Structure formats: structure tokens, C-alpha cells
Amino acid sequence: MLSNTDLLARINALASGAIGSEDSTVSTDRATAMDHYRGEPYGTEIDGRSQVVSRDLSETVDRMLPALIKPFFTCGNIVEFKPHGTEDIALAEQETDYTNYVVLNQNPAFTIFHDWFKDALILKNGYVKAWWDEKQTSKIEEYEGLTMDEAAKVLSDYQAEDKVEILSQQERKIRVDLPTGPQEIPVYDLKIRCTKKSGGVKIEAVPCEEIRVSKRCRGNLDASDYVEHNTKKTRTALIEMGMPKAFVNALPKYSSKGGSEEEARDQDSESQGQEGIDPSMDEIEYRECYVMADADEDGIAELRKIVVVGKQIPDGEDWNHEIEEQPLCSIVPKRMPHRHVGESVDDDIEDLQEIKTIFVRNFLDNMYGQVNMEWLVNGRVNLDDFLVSRPMGVKRIDDKQPVGDCASPVIKPDVLPKILPAIDYVDRVISNRTGVTPNTGLDPDVLKEVRKTPYMDQANQANAKIEMIVRMFAETGVKDLMLKVHNLILRHQDKPLMVKLRNQFVPVDPTQWKSRTDLAVNVGLGTGNREEIKETISIISSLQEKLMPFGLVTERHAFNSFNRLVKVLGEPNPEAYAMNPESQEFRQMQEAKKNQPPPPNPLAEAEQIKGQFKIQAEQMHMQQKAQAEQMKFQMEQQNERLRLDFEAWRTQLQEDTKKSVAIMTQEIKALVEGYKVDMGQAGLGGEFQGAS
């Protein structure tokens, strides 16, 4: 078995020539790139001349960053694990959802990805670290006046894995009124300390200057025989990690070696001025080394995690043991084949930023010269006046000669018409090299009226470089990170949890998970022309409608189109609007449909409906016939009543007429008889006769 001394010697030998070691070429390049991003002076400045620095690197990186981050946060799940078979679909979906939940919700994903991507764009590589973080928290609680049962319940409420320590316990008696009479009962005052252990996946972006990588590394860090995370920890943190107090207190304090990359990032001396305030907060050099070493001398090297603090490896297996995989992930914006270190945006435009700086400085110097001109003067002028340029100022001369004979301005040519096209040319070259145009990141909805134009073709060509960087980030570091998070959950989380996934709480039991390496990264929804993507999906949907009658399109195919379109529209959770045909809810609904009686035969149902219509028609006919008979009977009854009424009226009329005629006959007879009597009286008859 190799001793700690031998292992430390090998580690130091690997670290001295590693990529990222202090004062290495990569470290120097990164420090220079950081200066370019901050707009630091080049060192070629001349006193009295313009010293402005063009900030092209800063402008380019800051314009690229939103377009690079957006695809990872608008597609719902960053990655999807592929099932091993049809029976594995549900479990693979749960592993996908929970792994993404841990990354996006249990860690500050946005700031992690922001720092990770920004480091890569400026400094060639970006690094993140994922590990299982065990935490131990303690709290002290005090209780008063608890009965024996209440005290037992308080202690039993804590989980089995919690450590409960009774700090103090005091028994006393109190008098209570019971149905049987006053009685004294014992109560307890408790003071307890509860220590709870918890763990979870923790992810953080790591500064490039803290990483050392073997020169033999050809890309992925998992293939490297040596990776080191060199950082600083306080004495307090080391003791909390489990190192002996005496060992930690004997370690030397960290003293900065003044590495160029560290100084470039720590421009404001943020890490200085804290020494000597509190020895427990002294910073100690802490190195986590992941090295392939044959520590057991069996002829086969194994991956080991070795911790070096100060200049020593602590005793114990906690600081020197075999592991399954190292926790670091790396990305590069532009990959160099067979190399770990890639190319940054600064590598693309470093020369152009310096050239543009020269142009801008010359332009400003020329403008200053035109505003504050040089003068040709003779001995008759007041030199003090000509050495100061003031708005509305006065220049004195010592003679009565014409002013023009005493001083004459030195006319400098206007270089603006020549410099502006040159600056514009440099900007175009920067756009060609980086893919960043003035419209990078512009909302595609603004451009929906100018589709299929040369402008859109040019924009898509520029976006292709941005999309290439997105894909490079996704297929290298992001995929590695998600696999490491999945593996950490699989190895360490041994208890089921209730987690809200897809808008419902579901039990997640990682002990039932499978080891997976087949996964796909969901990117691309935030790049390119979204209008074109929506048009494509619409065409696919229309074709699916034509194929559906032939049984060539299933519910799953239709949902895939819907799922894609909803995500393009910016909604990360399509299942909030439609049911996934592979979800448990949909399967239960399908099972419920299977248990229902089969639908009736359409022909039989048609005959049944026809018979029902026939019966209904006959019933209506009989009903109408009965109604007609009833109406006929009613009409006959009414006619008969009218006839009888008429006959009665006629009979009554005849009788009344007969009576009236008889009365009139009697009256006429009486009148005639009266005439006869009157004619037989004296005088009456003669008058009557004479008149005749």
C-alpha cells in the first residue's frame, strides 16, 4: 500500500505540469482575457492621448449569454432519460422529472448556468461541481409542565435517525382538581437538543483558476487521470468536516502566490484584509485530488479521492479512498479536437478589440485636436493665453500689428470619414467570427412579417454559430452534469420522498431506479426562428390528420406534435393543457373504457331506431285518428245541439206567431163590431153616408 508521502509526491508532480497550474500558458491567457473583458489598459497608452479601451469582448459575451441560457430554461426538462423497454417507460419518466427537479429547483440553477457559461465564453473552459452534501443541524427546545405521557410523545415525535439528547430534566408536582378531588401529579420540565442529518445533491460553479487537469486529458474530465480542485477552507470548516482539531490548528495559513489568473479575477482585492482577525477563520489551502493511482499496488490503477490540506494528507479513509467517479464537469464554447482546453470568444476577437481600440483612440485624439487646436505664434503673443483653451476665451498680443500676423492655427485633417468605415468593418468581422449580430436575441415575433427574405437567411446563418455553442454545451458538460446528479441520487438517497412532479404529488423511490447512460438533451427551442418551427409543426399536424383515418397516427404521435408546439410557444409544461397518452391517468382512463360494455352494433341500433320510429308513427297515427274521431263526435254533438235549439226556437216562434195572430184577429173583430155599432147610431150613419 502506497504511503501518504508517496501519494503526495505523485500528486505534486502531476499538479506542477497540469493545465491551469499557476503561471501556465492557459492561466496567463485566462488572465489576459479577463483584462480584455474588464477593459483594462493595454500598457501602450501615451500620456496626454486618449486611453479609452474598446469593450468588444464584454459586449459580445453579454449579448451571447441570454441566447445560450434561454434554451435550457424554456424546454421544461433539460434532459430526458431513455427507457430500456416498454415496461421501463414510467420509471424513466420519473427519473427524468426528479433529476431535473433536483437541478432546477433544489439548486440555484440559473446562477450556476450563468457563471458556468460565462466562464467558458471568456476563459476557454467552464467548470461545475456536483456532490452529495451531508448536513447536520442542531436545535435546542425547552418544554415546561409536561406529563409523563406528553414527555414520551415529544420524544417519540422525532424520527428514528434524529439524535435526541436530554440536556436537563426536572420533575415537580402540581395540584390539579380531579372528579375524585384535588390531587398532586408529577410534571416534567425538559431541555433537549435534536440533531438531524440530511443530505442532498449540491451543485456550484467553480472558478477556472481552482481547477488543475492532466495534460493528457483529451476532453471529458472523466477520462483524465488527474483532476484537482484547489480552493481554500477555514479552520472551522475543516474541523466541521471531521478533521482533528489539533491537526487543523497546526496547519499553516494560506498565502497567495499571486497567480495571474487569480489576481485578474480578484481585481478589487476582495479576499484581502481578513487575516489575523480570528484564527478559527484562517484560510487553509484545500486540495481535492481525483487521481488514477495504484494505491494498493495490485498493478491496476483505480480512481481515488485524496484530500491535501496545507502540505499534508490527513490520516483516515475519509481523506484517501476509492470512488466511482469524479464530481467535476467541463464545457467549452469551441472544442479543439483531442484537447481539453477549447477556444474562447476572446481568442476570436482579441486582435479585433485591440485594432478597434486603436481606431477609437485615433478618432478621439483627432477630435480633441480639432476642438483644442495647435497654434503657430510669434514672440508678440501672450503664451499663457495660448496654452489654455477656454470657451469664449480671449488671446492677447503684445503689439498693434494685425492679429493674423501674430498667430495661426495648425489645421488637422478630419479623419472621421475614414475611421468610421474602418470601425464598421471591424464590427462586421467580429459578427462573422462570433455569430453575434445587432439583432441577436431579437424576439422572432417581431420578424414574422419578413420571413423567407435574405435578411432572415443571414440571421439564421448567424444564429447557427450560437446554436453550435448551445449544442456543444449541451452534449458535453450539461449531459455529464445530469448523469452525475442521477448517479448521486441513485447511490445516496435511500428513502422514498413525496415530490410534486407534473402538478401532482408522487412518491419517488430512487432505490428502484436503474443505472442509465442513454439520455437526450432538450435544447434548441430558444434559438433560430420560432415562426419557422411553428410552421413546420403545423404542416406535420395537417399531415397527421390525413393519416389518422388509416390508423397510422396514434394518440402518442398527436401528443408529440402538441407537446412540441406548446414548448415552442414558451410553455414548459404541456401536460397542464392536455393529457399525456403515456401517463398513468390516461392508462387508467383507457382501462375504465375497456371495462365498460361494448358499444351496440350500428346496424342493429339503426333497425332498433327504425322500429322505434315506426311504433312512434303508428302511435301518432292512432292518436291523430282518435283525435279526429273525437273532434267529429264533438262536431256532431254540437250540430245536434244547434239543430235541437233551432227546432225549439222555431216551434216557440210558431206558437208565439199563432198567439199573436189570434190576438190580432180578436182585436180586428172587436174593432169591426165597434164600427158596426157606431154606424147604427143617429147622426153617425147619415154623416157617413153623405160623405160617401
Query: What number is the average pLDDT over the span 250-260?
Result: 76
What pLDDT digit, counting tens, does each position of 137-157 carry?
Answer: 888 889 888 888 888 888 887
* Secondary structure E strands in 26-111: 79-81
Greater pLDDT, 255 or 273: 255
* Residue 64 contacts residue 48 (beta carbons within 8 Å): no
Greater pLDDT, 251 or 87: 251
C-alpha distances in angstroms, 130 versus 103, 454, 480, 516? 10, 45, 10, 17
* Residue 222 contacts residue 275 (beta carbons within 8 Å): no
Check residue 682 and give its pLDDT.
52
For the chain, what percent of residues have pLDDT higher than 70?
A: 85
Mean predicted lDDT score pLDDT of the chain:
83
Return the number of other C-beta atoms located less than 10 Å from residue 645's C-beta. Answer: 10
Q: Which residues are CB-contacts of 575 (< 8 A; sequence separation ≥ 6)?
A: 502, 503, 583
Strand partners, 181: 178
Which of 594, 591, 524 is CA-nearest to residue 564? 524
Question: What secondary structure letter does DSSP report for 21?
Answer: -
* Residue 314 contacts residue 307 (beta carbons within 8 Å): yes
Query: What number is the average pLDDT over the span 67-82?
Result: 85
Q: Which element (helix H / strand E) includes 385?
A: helix 383-386
Report helix angle 56-73 to 25-38, nearest 10. 100
Written as one string, the DSSP assignment of 237-296 is: HHHHTT--HHHHHTSPPP-----HHHHHH-TT-TT-S-TTS-GGG-EEEEEEEEEEE-TT
- Largest pairwise CA distance in the chain: 192
Domain coordinates in residue numbering, the chain: 131-323, 376-410, 617-691
Residues 334 and 349: their CA atoms lie apart, in Å, by 13
* Residue 34 contacts residue 265 (beta carbons within 8 Å): yes
> Which class for 159: exposed (0-12), middle (13-18), buried (19 or more C-beta within 10 A)?
exposed
> Which class for 98: exposed (0-12), middle (13-18), buried (19 or more C-beta within 10 A)?
buried
Three-class secondary structure of residue 407 per DSSP: strand
Which of 553, 435, 574 is CA-nearest to residue 61? 435
Check residue 449 and give its pLDDT.
41
What pLDDT digit, counting tens, does each position of 89-118 carry?
Answer: 888 889 999 999 999 999 999 999 999 999
* Residue 372 contacts residue 388 (beta carbons within 8 Å): no
Three-class secondary structure of residue 116 per DSSP: helix
